[in-house]
Homo-oligomer: A and B are copies of this chain.
Amino acid sequence: MSSTRTASNTTAPTQLLEVNDHSYAYRRFGDGTGLPLLWLQHFTGTLDNWDPAVTDPLASGREVILFDNAGVGRSSGDVPETIAGMARHAMTFLDGLGLKTCDVVGYSLGGMVALQMVQDRPSIFRRMILVGTAPRGGEDIMHLEKPSLAKRIQDPTNRGYDVLKKIFFTSSPASQAAGEAFIRRLSQRQEDRDAPSGPKVASAQTMAFREWETFKGERFAELRAISHPTLIVQGVHDEMIPVSNSYRLSENLANAVLLTYPDAGHGSLFQYPESFTRHAGAFLSSDSESAVF
C-alpha cells in the first residue's frame, strides 16, 4: 500500500485490485501525512480523464487514488445503472485496499457516487470535495440530448478529447484557451492508457442519471443528515449540470462551503487548476470540524 514511484497522473502505473471476483483499475501516487484522497470520475471518464494539473499538486501532502468504477476503463464487470450500484463498487474497492476512511473528490457523476457512499456509510469519508455535481432530485442533470449540447457533441470535427473543449468550457477565448491547455495536459501520457468509454458505458451511466433525478418524500432531506466538512465547486455557466444544483447542495448540507468560478462551465476545476488545487489543498489540510477554511 505504499505510494508509487512517480507522483503524476502522466506517469503513474495503472494497477489492478482483485476483490470479490472483480478487478478494479486504479492509480495511486503521491505521499504525505494527509488521508488518501479518492477521485470519483465524470460521465464516461477514465483514469486518463484526470488532469495532472489537478491531481499532481494534491498528491503533494497525501496519496491520491484514481479509480475506474466497474465496467469503465480496465475495470471488469458491467457499469451499474444506478448511482447506488456504483457506490457499492467504490466501497468494495476501498475495502479491498484496506482503507476505512479517506477524503474524496467527487466530480459530476462521481460527486453523486460520493454522496450516496457517505449516506450509506458515513465513516467512509472525512472531508468531501464535490465539483460540478447534483443532489438526488437535482435539476437538468446531464441531458446531453438538449439542442445546445447535442449540437456540439455530435459535431464530427469534435472527436476524442476535443469534444471536452466544447462542452467543459465556455465559448470565451480565455475559457477555450484553458480547454486547449487541458487537452494538451491529458495527452501527455503516452503509455498504459485506458481505452475511451464506448456507448455501453454511456448508456448505463445515463440511466443512472435519470434515476438520480427522481426523489421520494421531502426533496433534499437526506442531505441535512450529512455533516461532513464539504467544499462544493462549480462553474456558473455549467450547461451539463446547472449551478443551481450546487446552490441546493450548499443550502441543505449542514457543513458546506460553496465556491463558484466565473466564465466557467462543467470543467471549472480544469480551467482554473491553480486556484482549485490551492483552495482544495487548504480545505483538505484543515482538521477543523467545520468546512470553513
A181 vs B251: C-alpha distance when bound (angstroms): 25
Q: What are the 8 A-B residue pairs with the smallest beta carbon separation, nearest first?
A: A258-B260, A275-B292, A272-B292, A236-B251, A255-B262, A256-B262, A250-B260, A236-B250
- Which of A237, A243, A247, A258 has the largest count of B CB atoms less than 10 A from its CB? A258
A257 at the B interface (CB under 8 A): yes
Is A31 part of the contact surface with B, judged by Cβ < 8 Å? Answer: no
Give the number of copies in the complex.
Answer: 2
Q: Check A16 for interface membership: any CB of B closer than 8 A.
A: no
Partner of A262, one of B253, B261, B272: B253
Interface size on A, residues (CB 8 A): 24
B260 and A257 form a contact (CB under 8 A): yes
Q: Which residue of B is nearest A291, CB measured? A: B262
A293 within 8 A of B: yes
Taken together as a complex, chains A and B put the C-alpha atoms of A250 and B250 apart, in Å, by 15
CB of A204 within 8 Å of the partner chain: no
Which residues of chain B have C-beta atoms less than 8 A from A237's C-beta?
251
A102 within 8 A of B: no
- Return the CB mask of A244-270 against B: 1 if under 8 Å, else 0: 000100110111111111110000000
Q: How far is A211 from B158 in the complex, measured between Cα atoms in Å?
A: 49
Cα–Cα distance between A264 and B174 once the two chains are bound (Å): 34
Task: Give the residues in chain B near A259, CB-CB below 8 Å.
Answer: 257-259
Known A257-B261, A259-B258; judge A247-B247 contact (CB<8 A): yes
For A172, the closest partner residue in chain B by CB is: B254
User: Do B251 and A243 touch across chains, with their CB atoms under 8 A apart?
Assistant: yes
Which residues of chain B are within 8 angstroms of A253 by Cβ–Cβ distance? 262
